[in-house]
Structure 1
Amino acid sequence: MCIAEHKQVKEGVVTALQEGFAKHNVETKVITANYVMKHQAYQTEFESVDAQGCNAVAFYVANWHWDLALYMSYANIWVKDVEQTNTIAQASYRAGAGLDKFIDAKEKIIELVDAMFIQVEEQKAVTDKTKTAI
């Protein structure tokens, strides 16, 4: 799995993503990427040579805000095939307005990675069930 580095996001997010994927026995490689906001969505670019050996690419955005302390207010992670034609999984987090917004960002990123693996397993189960029914 390649992780497309988003240089405008805190460095710890990449480390948390690596740990989250490692938890599921997925090796990662960090590659340089360009994230550009167009039409209220990030368009991403990377050199295809950098993604050689990767089955998929993980992209991410995360925002921090200040309210008594710095906290992660938003995170979005999505995984696409290397050609960027199909989204394999996606998970998001948005902080609430109460004190519960002061979460451990690393733990939340790992939790989002876990949620994406659940999505993939559920999709696989549906596909397998459909194949069996045919």
Structure 2
Amino acid sequence: MFKQVTVITLMMLLSACSITQNIEPAEISKGSELCIIENPDVREGFLKEYQSVLSSKAISYRVVSENSVPDSCEWTSTYVARWTWDLSLYMSYAEIKVFYKGSLDGEAKYDSTRGGANMSKFIDAEPKIRELVNQLMQIKSASLFFRKFG
């Protein structure tokens, strides 16, 4: 009986120390421009890394203020990130959403807030941001290409 209680307790503790990551890719049309709505509450390095990955994927973008999103922005993106202190400072939560004409098209979320004793929560933010953006941003090619070559 003691062994069973111990095993169940350990399993509950380990499941409470989980880190989750979910990505629903966005399919941005080739040649489209993404308007990133700047979040001044997030560390500047997050936006810089986001922009760097978009540039490497040849996705055109511009950063706009939340108060003045131009009507010409069909594709928009929001982001949120939090850093937490536990032995050292680390990114504990990140969320990037991509919208097309106001409707959610894709989302990437990393959450280690329930990481507890899980040491995997101590990550470098830049590689994680890169991973999230790379998996989130999918380029939709013209259907003509697929009809001819696909």
TM-score, L = length of structure 1 = 0.70
* Runs of at least 5 residues in structure 2 that lack an aligned partner in the other structure: 1-33
Q: CA deviation at 1:57?
A: 1.0
Residue type of the alignment partner of 1:91 = A
Residue type of the alignment partner of 1:47 = S
Q: 1:30 aligns with which of 41, 63, 84?
A: 63
**Counterpart contact for 2:37–2:69, Cα < 8 Å:** no
Q: 1:90 aligns with which of 81, 88, 107?
A: 107
User: After superposition, where does 1:1-134 map in structure 2 within 5 Å?
Assistant: 1-33=34-66, 46-49=67-70, 52=72, 54-81=73-100, 83-84=101-102, 86-95=103-112, 96-97=115-116, 98-117=118-137, 120=138
* Runs of at least 5 residues in structure 1 that lack an aligned partner in the other structure: 34-45
Q: CA deviation at 1:19?
A: 1.1
Identical columns (%): 36
**Counterpart contact for 2:79–2:97, Cα < 8 Å:** yes
Q: Distance in 1 between matches of 2:54 and 2:69?
A: 21
| Structure 2 residue matching 1:28: 3-state secondary structure | strand
Q: Summarize deviations over 1:19-57 as a string: whole Å, max 9, x none.
A: 121121112211111xxxxxxxxxxxx4243x63x4411
Please tell me whether Structure 1 or Structure 2 has the larger radius of gyration of its CA atoms: 2
Q: How many residues align?
A: 107
The answer to which structure, 1 or 2, has the higher relative contact order (CA under 8 A, 6+ apart) is 2
**Aligned-CA RMSD value:** 2.1
Residue type of the alignment partner of 1:11 = E
Q: Distance in 2 between matches of 1:48 and 1:68?
A: 39
- Give 4+ residue runs of structure 1 displaced > 6 Å after superposition: none
